[in-house]
Amino acid sequence: MGLRLVEPTARRDSFWLAHMLRLNILPEGYIYPKEQRPVRDLLRRRLLFVKHRTSHILSLQSMITRNLGYKISGNDIKKLNESDADKLFNEPFLVLAAKNNISTIQFLGKIITDIEKPVKSHVKLKPEFEYLLTMPGIGDILGLTIMLEVGDISRFPTVGDYSSYCRCVKSERLSNSKKKGKGNSKNGNKYLSWAYVEAANFAIRHYPECQRFYQRKKATTNGIVAIKALSNKLARASYYVMRDQVAYDEKQLFR
């Protein structure tokens, strides 16, 4: 039985890739600019610290509600000092737990502030991203986060591509209104997803139109779905704001 020569895998793959590229069907990845990666990664670390601080705030809120019967807002908890734990609780172990939460919250708050200061002073929004600050719920830090995560907005041909990249839409496959399958829900950028959810939470506090949209959605679904729906609208609106370099227009978003 004779031996059959097999073409080397690397050579065969290179011909296949060249053929796909010639047909313009080869999906290409985006290589993020090397000089901007450190700042982007630093803001990602900030998000990690924010999540840890939030978990301690929620833990202390829960302990206060269970033992004292009332609730303290997150902003008020951030203002607490360790000495306030003695005023809140009489039981020594509860006092110790509260002091640990408060000290951790203060420590993480200092780290977050120490990250924000140099980022704000050394990194400026590019012209195409400056209009992001006209969007509801988007301030300096969220604007910088979106700018650094997006990179080049022209790499998204349509608003649907951008919304999908931000994890603002479902990955379900439907046929005749019936679910036939599901894609990878982990595709996309989790940091942009977080940024737009944060923007939606801020927007419902300070923008009446956003609040009305949220309340309408919440009445038919629940709060989590309503926030996600609003974050999708903000993501889609910000795509046009960045692409066309125009200010946010409330009438276009909430017709």
Residue range 106-156, pLDDT digits in tens: 999 999 999 999 998 888 888 878 899 999 999 989 999 999 999 889 889
User: What sign has the CA pseudo-torsion 44, 47, 51, 53?
Assistant: positive
Which string of b and e fits 5-19 if b means at least 16 CB within 10 Å? eeeeeeeeeeeeeee
The alpha carbon of 123 is separated from its chain's Cα centroid by a whole number of angstroms, namely 19
Grouping H, G, I as helix, E, B as strand and the rest as coil, residue 92 is: helix
**Tokens matching residue 60:** 């202390």
More confident residue, 180 or 187: 187
- Predicted pLDDT of residue 183: 63
Q: Has residue 5 got a pLDDT over 60?
A: no
- Predicted pLDDT of residue 84: 92
Question: How does pLDDT run across 10-51, given as a tens digit for each residue?
Answer: 888 888 888 888 888 877 777 888 888 999 999 999 999 999
Question: pLDDT exceeding 70 applies to what percent of the chain?
Answer: 91
DSSP label of 220: H
The residue-averaged pLDDT of 199-227 equals: 92
The residue-averaged pLDDT of 165-191 equals: 74
Torsion angle defined by CA atoms of residues 17, 18, 20 and 23, in that order, rounded to the nearest 10 degrees = 170
Tokens 């020569």 correspond to: 5
